[in-house]
């Protein structure tokens, strides 16, 4: 029995993209019956939305694909996260830079969710529903590729 891998998904507000990434990744591992292998969470680099549920547009797009985000609550990235998590997945290059600047200790690997080739999951907050479709599609493909990479023997 291998130890669970711990993954933290990070965006700016923790109400649009990273809750969706956490929910989609959880649904993929649940579908494989492998929930025990992972500890999953999400957080934001910003503090504006602490304690709030995900944006209704993220809840809706997730529900449309059978993923429930309704129990999630936003939190901000904390200094301990860099020691608690094995891998921290940033949704865009700004989040990546903010995470790298915020880390003073801890061994978490920090990378983009979409890193081959490096690509942002664009911030959908100020746009329309189309942006959330696009976020879902990108997050889903990023989570599938991440799970495949973690399944590959080192
Ligand atoms: P997220 O989207 O980073 O995907 O959660 C945003 C949510 C809120 C804000 C920006 C982005 N905001 O400026 O309040």
pLDDT tens-digit series, residues 68-127: 999 999 999 999 999 999 999 999 999 999 999 999 999 999 999 999 999 999 999 999
Residue 87 · residue 111 · CB < 8 Å: yes
Ligand 1 centre distance from Cα of residue 147 (Å): 25
Find the 92 Cα to ligand 1 centroid distance in Å.
12
Ligand 1 mean position, distance from CA 110 (Å): 20
The answer to whether residue 1 scores a pLDDT higher than 60 is no
Q: Could you tell me if 140 and 134 are in contact, meaning their C-beta atoms sit under 8 angstroms apart?
A: no
Average pLDDT of every residue of the chain: 96
- What pLDDT does 113 receive? 98
pLDDT at 154 over 80: no
Range of the domain at 73: 5-151
How many domains are there within the chain? Answer: 1
Residue 148 has pLDDT above 70, yes or no: yes
Instruction: Tell me if 76 CB under 6 Å of ligand 1.
Output: no
Domain of 20: which CATH number?
3.40.50.2300
- Residue 11 Cβ contacting ligand 1 at under 6 Å: yes
Question: Is this prediction's pTM over 0.95?
Answer: yes
Query: 3-state class of 126 per DSSP?
Result: coil
Higher-confidence residue of 1 and 30: namely 30
**pLDDT, position 2:** 61
Residue 3: predicted pLDDT: 67
Query: Which of 137, 151, 90, 140 lies closest to 115, judged by CA?
Result: 90
Indicate whether 21 pLDDT > 80: yes
Q: Which atom of ligand 1 lies at the shortest distance from residue 11's CA? A: 3
Q: Token digits for 94?
A: 């700004």
So what's the pLDDT on residue 104? Answer: 95
């Amino acid at each position: 029995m291998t130890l669970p891998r711990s993954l933290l998904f990070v965006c700016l507000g923790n109400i649009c993209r990273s809750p969706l990434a956490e929910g989609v990744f959880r649904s993929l591992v649940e579908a494989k019956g492998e929930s025990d292998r992972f500890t999953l969470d999400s957080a934001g680099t910003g503090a504006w939305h602490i304690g709030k549920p995900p944006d209704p547009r993220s809840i809706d797009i997730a529900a449309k694909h059978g993923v429930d985000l309704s129990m999630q609550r936003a939190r901000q990235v904390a200094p301990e996260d860099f020691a608690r998590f094995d891998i921290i997945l940033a949704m865009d290059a700004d989040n990546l830079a903010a995470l790298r600047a915020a880390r003073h200790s801890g061994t978490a690997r920090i990378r983009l969710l979409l890193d081959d080739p490096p690509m942002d999951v664009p911030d959908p907050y100020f746009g329309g529903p189309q942006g959330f479709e696009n976020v879902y599609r990108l997050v889903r493909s990023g989570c599938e590729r991440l799970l495949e990479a973690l399944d590959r023997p080192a």
